Amino acid sequence: MSVPKSHPRYLSLRTRDIIVRGVEKGVTSVHGLLAHGRGEAFDYMIGEKTTAKARKQIKRAAKLLLKAKNPVISVNGNVAALCAREIVELSKIIPAKLEVNIFHKSKNSKEFLGYENLKNFHKSRKREQNIRRWLIKHGAKEVLMPGKGIVKYIEHNRRFCNPDGIAKADVVFVPLEDGDRCEALIKMGKKVITIDLNAKSRTAKFATITIVDNITRALPLLIKEIKNPH
Amino acid sequence: MSVPKSHPRYLSLRTRDIIVRGVEKGVTSVHGLLAHGRGEAFDYMIGEKTTAKARKQIKRAAKLLLKAKNPVISVNGNVAALCAREIVELSKIIPAKLEVNIFHKSKNSKEFLGYENLKNFHKSRKREQNIRRWLIKHGAKEVLMPGKGIVKYIEHNRRFCNPDGIAKADVVFVPLEDGDRCEALIKMGKKVITIDLNAKSRTAKFATITIVDNITRALPLLIKEIKNPH
């Protein structure tokens, strides 16, 4: 859809189209679209501007990422669709590893029984590969994939991570994360930084640092802060 | 995704799966998923319950629909996916005509130039047919399609309507409508009833009666009210 720049909802509509294209490219899931819609509503309520509090959290996040021994950036379909270039740049300037991690059924899960799940599993594996390729297309040199590392405290989904990535990370940056996994990472003793527009979400509650902001506004500010910390 | 009934977000997650299946069936658009996500966030904020004010508006809506000479129910992809059975029942008990109307590029629009739009146009036409079939599968006897009727005051989208439906309706029930078209229908002198979870949306502002509620909760209440008006 071509939206004129003069449209009062221009930025929001353009972002919406970017995420829809993410689905068409096999990078974003349809459930990711729903999550984006929720984010739009919450963003609308904070006035679609980065708040003073978010700016403070961005500074704190920059410090924590620069201080970390093994920082890892966890990338899902929405992050990849919306900010591939920025997330790759961020990984280079910290420096931090990039790891693909999406919400999917795992092979060893108890829920992994029927054909429907098998289909979803293969779809998820393909989407992980698509995200990896998408990040490499945007300049990433190395992208870790979920492997034999285990995120404890979660039964079914997102349990598997990379042994050289999230498994041994001390600080994990997981923008647009779900509550269960954020809680599990914290329980494992890791520090978690997240970006979440819903200030009352479980992710926002559990994370060490929560930046309540639109990722498309917050990432450029975080990059600036890491390049020139004050 | 199979969600146990005990899950605190059971209803919300189940509804989410229904709308995702709507996309897979070619009834709902991917943009419709974003809209649903926004609705989820607004519903969360009103406590996911029908408010006293919404109940009053439902009573007013029932009266207006019963009093109307030519009431028409406008059905889009999200309405069809979420409430086909209820919307068909509603059309029978009022009685009111059903008309499919989705947000798409029209053939005569100035924007209708390139291949991309042509592709979208055919996709939209197909989706209109899918919605029609979906309603018939759920018991509808007749479903009107957009035709040579014109909704004035809108340039590009949703301009076309059925000459025997929305074009000559005095009352139009358009749940989950977009602001532009709602305003246009009002300007044409029609009374508009809508269901919208965003109390501050342009649709909510323009409509004659706005029910700020989740459509899956509001429609059964509206049906009950029409069957037994107090």
- pLDDT tens digits along B46-87: 999 999 999 999 999 999 999 999 999 999 999 999 999 999
DSSP H or E stretch at residue B161: strand B160-161
Residue A131 and residue A102 in contact, taking contact as beta carbons nearer than 8 Å: yes
A30, A39, A41 member nearest B33 (Cβ): A30
Q: Is the pTM of this model over 0.90?
A: no
* Angle in degrees, CA A15, A19, A25, rounded to 5: 140
Q: Are B62 and B209 contacting, i.e. CB atoms less than 8 angstroms apart?
A: no
B38 touches chain A (CB under 8 A): yes
Residues of A in contact with B39 (CB under 8 A): 37, 41
Residue of A nearest to B21 (CA): A30
Pick among B33, B40, B110, B120 to test the A interface (most A CBs inside 10 A): B33
The residue ranges of DSSP E strands in A120-195, in sequence order, are 149-150, 160-161, 171-173, 191-195
Distance from CA of A22 to the nearest CA of B (A): 11
- Which tens digit of pLDDT belongs to each residue from B6-61? 766 778 888 888 998 898 889 998 888 889 999 999 998 899 999 999 999 999 99
Residues of A in contact with B34 (CB under 8 A): 16, 19-20, 33-34, 36-37, 40
CB B73, CB B67: distance < 8 Å = no
Beta-bridge partner residues of A194: A210
- For helices B10-24 and B77-93, the axis angle rounded to 10 degrees is 100
Q: Does the ipTM exceed 0.85? A: no
Does residue B107 surpass a pLDDT of 50? no
pLDDT category of residue A106 using cuts at 50, 70 and 90: very low
The closest CB to that of B33, out of A34, A41, A111, belongs to A34
A153/A51: higher pLDDT: A51
Q: List C-alpha distances in Å: B24 to A48, B130, B155.
A: 31, 11, 30
Chain A segment 181-210 residues within 8 A of B by beta carbon are 198
